Amino acid sequence: MENKTITPTLLLSIVATGLLSFSGVVIETAMNITFPHLMKVFGASLSSIQWLTTSYLLVLSIMMPLSAYFKQRFETKKLFVIAASFFLGGLLVDALAPNLPILIMGRVLQGVGTGISLPMMFNIILEQAPRHQQGLLIGVGNFITATAPAIGPTFGGMLVDSSLGWRSIFWVIIPVVAIALIIGVVSIQQYSEIKYIKLDITGWLNLSLLFSFLILALTQLGQQTRWVLIFGCLALIFLVLTIFWYKKVDSPIIKLSLFKNSWFSGHLIAFMLCQFEVMGLAFLLPNLVQILLGKTSFVAGLTMLPGAVLGAVLAPIGGNLLDKYGAVKPILAGISLETIGVIIFLSVFQNSSVIMLAGVYMIFTLGQGISVPNVLTSGLSKMDLKDKADGNAMFNTLQQFAGAAGTSIISIIIATDHTSRQLYGFNHGLVTLTIGLLIDLGVLVTVFAVNKVRT
């Protein structure tokens, strides 16, 4: 009989780890707005400036597979202090950076901090919360992190255009991380026993290089085909090496056997598609506002703000719906609303206004709020507790890859249109997102049908 309860310390530990992840996403989305300005400041090309994002994603792809090992091997509170310290160090480095390489180094340090802290929040919930309330708490965690994309673009655009300048982006976040560190030190408790297990270094390196080369291939899409092919071939080589190695060892860093579970693997595919859609539209919409409507980056950020806030607020509500009514209804209803929102975008974007686009985006984020966090919760719900850390690691790792893919692929589709307003590019991008959502619905319906889940 389960005797777990939601305690104030559990809620505070979720807030602490969530704030650290929130800070990482805020800076990532805020920095995207600053790229044109930083190109002038450092006299650098766009491809060089993009390493601020690429380096961050690469470090996340390296750190995420370690989360299950970290959870078993080290105390949660110590890990959190290390993560927050890396993040604070990265913020200070970036706030004082005299040149672009140092600025990139700060982003690398922040990536280490986020890579440790992001899976930690979900592991705490899965381990310490009552099963019948995990959906609600994962929704609370997602609420904290999901407000970041709402704030980031507006926050970054406002500071860059002000007398404070781009460095203030990092100075403003430092108190947030410091508060998270204090809360975490006070509230995070050790629930499971520490095991002195050996790290599968070869397996980790293979997996890290696989995801790293995949991300590098994505960042080169539409730019240098030669490097796309080179990085793609290297990723394929390390995929083969990873599979070969994981069949050979007894205790791999990530259990690939989890993919034999159709419930888990189906939800993982659906979650990746969800993240592709969310990040793809998050790239398309502000560019549409700036290119098609001729508005500023600040206005583009404001266009997304109401919808992003709505999606964040609904995340705990969506989790509560899952706890009360099961996974099927909120997940399928949410993905359906996302699909309707993108179809409306496709129908009206050529003759739209900022207010209209903001309203339609709210339909999309309404669906996002009640579905996306629940896909993760549902995907991990039928796993043994000992396997949930590995499953969570895979969800978080592939989430980063899917998000990078959504941004890269949609940007390439838009860029194929060389006209001034890029109407056809935006049209084809929205068609791609619509097809992706329909596939997502098909995957989830199939998973529920195969596992005979009706409610």
pLDDT in tens, 256-305: 777 888 898 999 999 999 888 988 888 788 878 878 888 876 787 788 88
Q: What percent of the chain has pLDDT over 70?
A: 95
Task: Name the nearest CA neighbour of 378 among 275, 277, 276, 265.
Answer: 265
Q: Give the residue from 194, 212, 232 where a domain finishes.
A: 194
pLDDT at position 250: 73
My answer on whether 158 and 261 are in the same domain is no
The angle that helices 100-128 and 385-415 make with each other, rounded to 10 degrees, is 140
Q: Tell me, what's the pLDDT at 183?
A: 93
What count of other Cβ atoms lies within 10 Å of the Cβ of residue 200?
20
Do the Cβ atoms of 200 and 114 come closer than 8 Å?
Answer: no
Q: What is the mean pLDDT of the chain?
A: 83
Token pair belonging to 249: 């060892």
Token digits of residue 359: 């309203």
* Residue 109 confidence (pLDDT): 94
**Does this model's pTM top 0.75?**
yes
> What is the C-alpha separation between 231 and 3, in angstroms, rounded?
49
- Residues 80-104: pLDDT tens digits? 999 999 999 999 999 999 999 999 9
Residue 2 lies in a domain: no
The residue with greater pLDDT, 7 or 221, is: 7
Say which residue, 45 or 448, is predicted with more confidence. Answer: 448
Helix (H, G, I), strand (E, B) or coil at 110: helix
Confirm whether 102 is domain-assigned: yes
Half-sphere exposure of residue 39, counting CA atoms within 13 Å on the CB side? 10
**Cα 107 from Cα 53, distance rounded (Å):** 8
The per-residue pLDDT for range 389-401, each reduced to its tens digit, is 778 778 877 877 7
Segment 59-75 shows an average pLDDT of 81
Residues 159 and 118 in one domain: yes
CATH number at residue 431: 1.20.1250.20
Is residue 276 located within the same domain as residue 320? yes
Asked if residue 109 belongs to a domain, the reply is: yes
Most trustworthy range by pLDDT among 51-60, 318-327, 331-340:
331-340
* Same domain for 447 and 319: yes
If asked whether residues 72 and 130 sit together in one domain, one would say yes
Domain count for the chain, please give it.
3
Q: Quick one: average pLDDT of 417-444?
A: 89
Q: Which of 194, 213, 234 is the last residue before a domain boundary?
A: 194
Domain of 179 in residue numbering reads as: 7-194
Is 149 a residue whose pLDDT tops 70? no
Q: Are 73 and 195 in contact (CB under 8 A)?
A: yes
Q: How far apart are CA 180 and CA 173, in angstroms?
A: 11
Domain boundary among 194, 213, 240: 194
Which of 24-38, 104-118, 437-451 has the lowest average pLDDT? 24-38
pLDDT score of 46: 66
Q: Could you give the CA distance from residue 28 to residue 50 in angstroms, rounded to a whole number?
A: 11
What single letter denotes the amino acid at residue 160? V
Reported as a pLDDT band with limits 50, 70 and 90, residue 440 is very high
- Residues 102-123 have pLDDT tens digits of 999 999 999 899 888 878 887 8
pLDDT at 236 exceeding the cut of 80: yes
Residues 182 and 228 reside in one and the same domain: no
Residues 184 and 204 in one domain: no
Among the listed residues 144, 146, 123, 129, the one whose alpha carbon sits nearest the alpha carbon of residue 66: 123
Higher pLDDT, 402 or 91: 91
Q: Which pLDDT score, from 0 to 100, does residue 106 have?
A: 94
Q: Do 176 and 205 have their domain in common?
A: no
Burial class (CB in 10 A: 0-12, 13-18, 19+), 4: middle
> What Rg, from alpha-carbon coordinates, does the chain have?
21
419 and 321 inside one domain: yes
Any domain includes 449: yes
68-241-52 Cα angle (round to 5): 60
Closest CA to 332 of 382, 388, 274: 274
For residue 299, which of 363, 358, 346, 362 has the smallest C-alpha distance?
A: 358
Which of the 8 DSSP states describes residue 259? G
Q: Is 1 domain-assigned?
A: no
Question: Which residues, in sequence order, are CB contacts of 77 under 8 Å at separation 6+?
Answer: 184, 185, 188, 189, 190
Q: pLDDT for 355-375, tens place per residue? A: 999 999 999 999 988 888 888
Give percent of the chain with pLDDT exceeding 90: 24
Contact by Cβ (8 Å): 317, 370: yes
List CB contacts of 182: < 8 A, sequence separation 6 or more. Answer: none
Tokens of 227: 């490097």
Banded model confidence at residue 454, pLDDT cuts 50, 70, 90 = low
**Does 29 lie in the same domain as 85?**
yes
Considering the domain architecture, whether residues 300 and 348 belong to the same structural domain is answered as: yes
In a domain, 100, yes or no: yes
DSSP assignment string, 395-430 = HHHHHHHHHHHHHHHHHHHHHT--SSS-HHHHHHHH
Pair (175, 214) in one structural domain: no
What is the per-residue pLDDT for 1?
41
Residue 254, pLDDT > 80, answer no
Confidence of residue 194 (pLDDT cuts 50, 70, 90): confident
Within a domain: 74: yes
